[in-house]
Structure 1
Amino acid sequence: MILCAGESLIDMVPEQGSFRALPGGSVYNTAIALGRLDETTSYLWPISRDAFGKMLLGPLTEAGVDTSLCPRTDRLTTLAVVTLTGTEARYSFYDEGSAGRMLHAQDIPPLPTGISAIFAGGISLVPDPCGAAVESLIERHHQTLPVMLDPNIRPFFIPDPAAYRARLARLMAMSDIVKLSADDLAWLCPDLSDDEATTWVLSQGPKIVLRTGGESGARAFWHGGTISAPAIRTTVADTIGAGDTFNAGVLASLRRQNLLTKSGLARISPAGMQAALTLGAQAAAITVSRPGANPPWAHEMPA
């Protein structure tokens, strides 16, 4: 079972001069996408008892995601107000004192024996106490469980860039797979080119670095060299949830190839990596073809 640990929130998406409330959040979207791809998935993040919390639980249940590790709380759900420039999404967060932000390490229950990998990332890594709680979770389990990290960096959400870069350096050193967009790399290593920044990230300890570039596709860097996969051509409605769905496709492919283990990731072949990138790209293409974070179900994927 793949455990997704990180933020859930409500995206307030523009619609005909108003806003439509949609369940979202980087790690939440990945959990939904994994469940819809028929992967056994568990989710860990506080869920509010407010009306938005009920909205968040619905899609998780529908996708078959286990929510037994989610603490319930009376604190309010985080809101993300979305603005669209063309098809590109930008966000403003209403998060102070929210259900997720106030997660402490002691609120995280012991992990069941069925957990086989951890996925974490998003804005849940930035503020404390929740950022420290996720870091603590990874610190406790990274030696036995493979970890995939996607920081999905939102610069305007980061009050102390130096402290956050230090946290990311610690997390990358404990991760097996790190996925970064071109924007992430530019923020993380502003004085380096994309290739130099990727090399630096690899030097921190991960076995694999995935670099995504929207229409330019995705590349994987690891001991086997570099593999590229083009983006799948489609009519883009918006890009909300695209990278999150890509992550789910990669994880699903690695799990199906019996590579989502410490030893499996250490011996992955170019063919195995290509298959993972391809499934990620195929899943993301379906998500961007429809509004909001709406990942594909298994039956919608190419045969």
Structure 2
Amino acid sequence: MILCSGESLIDMVPEGGTFRPLAGGAVYNTAIALGRLDAPTAYLWPISRDPFGEVLLRPLTEAGVDIGLCPRSDRLTTLALVTLTDGDAVYSFYDEGSAGRMLSPADIPTLPDRIEAIFTGGISLVPDPCGAAVEALIERNHARLPIMIDPNIRPFFIANPKAFRARLHRILPQADIVKLSTDDLEWLHPGIDPEDAARKVLALGPKIVLQTGGASGARAFWSGETVSAPAIRTTVADTIGAGDTFNAGVLASLRNQGVLNKDGITEITGEQLLAALTLGAQAAAITVSRPGANPPWADEMPT
């Protein structure tokens, strides 16, 4: 079972001159996508008892995601106001004192034996105490469980870039897989070619660094030759949840191939990486073809 730990929130998406509330959040979206792809999935993040909390729980339950590790909170749900520019999503967050924001390291439980891998990242890495809580989850479990991190960097959300860079420098070496967009790499290593920037991250210690670039497809940097997979051509409604769904496709593929474990990732082949990138791209293409973060179900995927 893959444990996803990170933000859940309500995306206020523009629709007909007003805003429609939709369940979202980078790590939450990945959990939903994994569940819909029939990968055994669990979720760890506080869920508010406010009405938006119920909105968040419903898709998790429908996707078969295990929510037994989710604490309930009387604090409010995080809101993200979404605006679209040429189909690309731009966010403004309302997060101070929210249910997720106030997760602390003391709230992180001992993980049950059924957990076989961890996925985390997103804006939950940025503020404290929740950023420290995610860091504690990684620190306590990286020696025995494979960790995948997608920082999903939102510069406007980062009040203290120096502190955030320091956190990334601590946690990225503990990850087995790191996924970064071209924009993420530019933030981490300004002015450096994305491939060189990805290799700088690889040198920190991860076994695999995945670089995504929208229409330019995805690449995997590892100990072997670079593996590339093209993007799948489709009509784009918007890009909300695209990278999150890509992450789910990669994880589901690795699990299906039996390599989502410490030994499997260490001994992975180029063919296995290509299969993972391809499934990620296929899943993401379906998500971007329809409005909002609406990942595909297993029966919608190409056979």
Range into which the TM-score falls when normalised by the shorter chain: over 0.9
Partner of 1:166: 166
1:44 aligns to 2:44 (yes or no):
yes
Secondary structure of 1:225's counterpart equals: coil
Q: How does 1:14-33 map to 2 (within 5 A)?
A: 14-33=14-33
Partner of 2:247: 247
Deviations for 1:113-149, whole angstroms, at most 9, x for unmatched residues? 0000000000000000000000001000000000000
Deviations for 1:58-84, whole angstroms, at most 9, x for unmatched residues? 000000000000010000000000000
TM-score by length of 1: 0.99
Name the amino acid aligned to 1:173: P
Partner of 2:71: 71
Structure 2 Cα separation of the partners of residues 196 and 229 of structure 1: 18
Instruction: State the 4+ residue runs in structure 1 displaced beyond 3 angstroms.
Output: none
Structure 1 Cα separation of the partners of residues 195 and 244 of structure 2: 23
Partner of 2:155: 155
Q: How does 1:1-303 map to 2 (within 5 A)?
A: 1-303=1-303
Secondary structure of 1:153's counterpart equals: coil
Cα drift, residue 14 of structure 1? 0.2
Cα drift, residue 167 of structure 1? 0.5
Cα drift, residue 240 of structure 1? 0.1
Structure 2 Cα separation of the partners of residues 106 and 157 of structure 1: 24
Cα drift, residue 110 of structure 1? 1.6
Structure 2 Cα separation of the partners of residues 199 and 230 of structure 1: 20
Structure 2 Cα separation of the partners of residues 105 and 68 of structure 1: 18
Name the amino acid aligned to 1:36: R
> Alpha carbon RMSD of aligned pairs, Å?
0.5
Structure 2 Cα separation of the partners of residues 110 and 269 of structure 1: 32
Name the amino acid aligned to 1:30: T
Q: Please list every run of 5 or more consecutive structure 1 residues that lacks an aligned counterpart in the other structure.
A: none
TM-score by length of 2: 0.99
Structure 2 Cα separation of the partners of residues 85 and 192 of structure 1: 26
Cα drift, residue 191 of structure 1? 3.9
Structure 2 Cα separation of the partners of residues 225 and 254 of structure 1: 18
The answer (yes or no) to whether the contact 1:219–1:227 under 8 Å persists in 2 is yes
Secondary structure of 2:219's counterpart equals: strand
Structure 1 Cα separation of the partners of residues 73 and 152 of structure 2: 26
Cα drift, residue 192 of structure 1? 2.2
Cα drift, residue 190 of structure 1? 1.1
Count of residues in Structure 1 that have an aligned counterpart in Structure 2: 303
